[in-house]
Structure 1
Amino acid sequence: MRPKPPPDYLAGYPAALVAQVTDLIASAQLGPALRRKYPRAHEVRTDKALYDHVLELKNTCLRNAPPLSKVAYDSKLKVIAQALGTHTAISRVQGGKLKAKREIRVATVFRDMPPEFLQMIVVHELAHLKVRDHDKAFYQLCQHMAPAYHQWEFDTRAYLAYLAAGGTPLWSAASDPPPA
């Protein structure tokens, strides 16, 4: 009997694909396959580095989008919001004007993942600056910013299912081999 991955991570994918991921987890082959495909963790470890990374991508792909006031890793995000990243707009009255501050928070689980997985969540949250809903226009914008967005999202979800099934983390700054 194959273990079931948490439905949240692979919901919406075809049953055959979910079964394939579940079989790879059960046979202990998913971890090594992901590690071969994504050999290194990214180097964006601090909130400042994350802010710089997000701002660079925003300035490259979404120059006319509203400015960001804060970008940070958030250790409570997954527990509280059941999300991997959030984009919020906080409105405040300043004098006679209404000012909106936009923030992006990324779950700390992304601190020890490959650069492609971090890029996927950053692109996702940046796309919310322009498109609020998860509709066709939203995913087209994600794919415009990162052509491999859909593959990275699936691989990230497969990895999270692997972790939820008791798998050990595959990446960390300390475990990565030195650059060649």
Structure 2
Amino acid sequence: MTPLKYLQAYPVALQDQIRQLIEQKRLGEYLLKRYPGKHAVQNDKALYSYTLALKQAYLKNAPNIDKVLYDSRLDLTHKALGLHTAISRVQGGKLKAKKEIRVAALFKEAAPEFLEMIVVHELAHLKEQDHNKAFYKLCEYMLPEYHQLEFDLRVFLTYRALNKGGPEMADQVILF
């Protein structure tokens, strides 16, 4: 049985469905059918604007965001696809905290739904630090299909891991 490290927390029945798609070499086809598009948010300035628009729509009272950028150092080896940080500095006797959101560079080429899911996830951390019930409720408020997208993103990561340097569909799907 193929271990699915990104899907281990999900029920065995769901994992078996993904294994079946893998065995039939149809996982890439499944992903392409569900997420055929590519977003236009290709640089840090556009990502900042995109993130700010989502924040304005759903989290008007949350702290301001000082910086949003794609980070090529973020990847699965760091176990992070996005990060939220608050950097505190003393400036003229005052303590200033700057909020930053970093999104893994692999999302430059991902489906728009996956980018939105990651940004929503990081924005939710402005209000809720921990991954608790309130955090996921906030994610669902901003993006009602959040849980399905998180699952599909994990399927995408599984496909990506299986096809490093790989088969015919890999070129089409790994960077859709």
- TM-score normalised by structure 1 residue count: 0.89
Q: Percent identity?
A: 55
65, 70, 85: which one aligns with 1:68: 65
Q: Indicate conservation of the 8 Å contact 1:86/1:125, yes or no.
A: yes
Distance 1:160 1:171 in 2: 9
Pairwise CA distance, 1:4: 2.3
8 Å CA contact 2:160–2:174 kept in 1: the answer is no
Residues 32 and 79 of structure 1: is their aligned pair in 2 closer, same or farther, counting only changes over 3 Å? closer
The answer on 1:37 being equivalent to 2:69 is no
Give the letter aligned to residue 103 of structure 1.
E
5+ residue gaps in structure 2?
Answer: none
Q: Give the ranges of 4+ consecutive aligned residues of structure 1 lying more than 2 Å apart after TM superposition.
A: 2-5
Instruction: Return the letter of the residue paired with 1:67.
Output: N
- What is the alpha-carbon distance in structure 2 between the residues aligned to residue 50 and residue 83 of structure 1? 18
One-letter code of the match for 1:3?
T
CA RMSD, Structure 1 to Structure 2 (Å): 1.5
Question: What CA distance in whole angstroms lies between the structure 1 residues aligned with 2:69 and 2:18?
Answer: 31
Which structure has more relative contact order (CA 8 Å, sep 6+)? It is 1
Task: Name the counterpart of 2:2.
Answer: 3
**Residues 3 and 26 of structure 1 are in contact (CA less than 8 Å); yes or no, is this contact kept in structure 2?**
no
Give the number of equivalent residue pairs.
Answer: 170
**Cα deviation digits, residues 99-125 of structure 1 (max 9, x gap):** 100100001111111111100000000
TM-score normalised by L of structure 2: 0.91
Kept after mapping to 2: 8 A contact 1:77/1:85: yes
Matching residue of 2:18 = 21
Ranges in structure 1 where 5+ consecutive residues have no aligned partner: 174-180
Partners of 2:44 and 2:22 lie apart in 1 by 32
